[in-house]
């Protein structure tokens, strides 16, 4: 049994939450925020891509991947994430990279422990749940910003 097929299917299904929201975003939505929230819709889109790429590199040990996680480097929204085309392309890239690293995993790899400062020590399968839930969490925020933000 190739567990990677199941993990890829789970990731793709979870990411549909984000894709449904992305499909309805207009360029003018990217600067929207809700109330005094520090993060704009555009920032959160970039942040999802940054974290997915870091996850592929650091958790799945894809050393050849070069990541400049600008949202984490800056630590705040500087209002620069305003190109919808660039953000959509970046998110496509991050999704492709996650799927590539998933496909490289042998079934036994999913039980190996990985340690990060963000979530401590977990099996690769448990850690994988973090990236899926991270993306879905922010997809929910993005949907609320799209609907109620100004």
The total number of structural domains that make up the chain: 1
Cα–Cα distance, 37 to 5 (Å, whole number): 38
Whether residue 115 has pLDDT greater than 70: yes
CA angle 90, 51, 114 (to 5 degrees): 135
Neighbours of 74 (CB within 10 A): 12
Give the domain CATH number at 98.
1.20.120.450
> What does the pLDDT look like over 8-67, one tens digit per residue?
999 999 999 999 999 999 999 999 999 999 999 999 999 999 999 999 999 999 999 999
pLDDT value at position 118?
A: 85
Q: Residue 58 contacts by C-beta under 8 Å, 6 or more apart in sequence?
A: 116
User: Measuring CA to CA, how many Å separate 129 from each of 6, 63, 140?
Assistant: 13, 21, 16
pLDDT value at position 33?
A: 96
> φ and ψ at 51, to 5 degrees?
-70, -40
> What does the pLDDT look like over 11-28, one tens digit per residue?
999 999 999 999 999 999
Whether residue 119 has pLDDT greater than 90: no
Average pLDDT on 128-137 reads 94
Q: At 122, which helix (H) or strand (E)?
A: strand 120-123
Q: State if pTM tops 0.85.
A: yes
CA angle 118, 124, 126 (to 5 degrees): 70
Q: What is the mean pLDDT of the chain?
A: 95
Note down the domain range covering 141. 3-148
Sign of CA dihedral 75, 79, 80, 82: positive
Determine the straight-line distance between the first and last CA of the chain, rounded to whole angstroms.
49
Confidence of residue 1 (pLDDT cuts 50, 70, 90): low
Q: Residue 63 contacts by C-beta under 8 Å, 6 or more apart in sequence?
A: 57
Whether residue 148 has pLDDT greater than 90: yes
> What does the pLDDT look like over 76-112, one tens digit per residue?
999 999 999 999 999 999 999 999 999 999 999 999 9
pLDDT value at position 117?
A: 87
Q: Residue 98 contacts by C-beta under 8 Å, 6 or more apart in sequence?
A: 11, 52, 55, 56, 131
């Amino acid at each position: 049994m190739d567990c990677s097929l199941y993990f890829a299917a789970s990731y793709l299904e979870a990411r549909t939450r984000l894709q449904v929201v992305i499909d309805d975003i207009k360029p003018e939505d990217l600067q929207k925020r809700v109330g005094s929230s520090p993060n704009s819709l555009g920032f959160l889109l970039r942040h999802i891509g940054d974290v997915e790429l870091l996850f592929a590199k650091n958790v799945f040990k894809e050393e050849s991947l070069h990541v400049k996680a600008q949202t984490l480097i800056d630590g705040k929204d500087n209002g620069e994430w305003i190109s919808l085309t660039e953000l959509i392309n970046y998110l496509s890239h991050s999704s492709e990279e996650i799927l590539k690293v998933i496909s490289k995993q042998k079934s036994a790899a999913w039980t190996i422990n990985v340690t990060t400062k963000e979530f401590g020590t977990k099996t690769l399968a448990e850690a994988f749940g973090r990236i899926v839930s991270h993306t879905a969490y922010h997809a929910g925020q993005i949907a609320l910003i799209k609907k109620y933000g100004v």
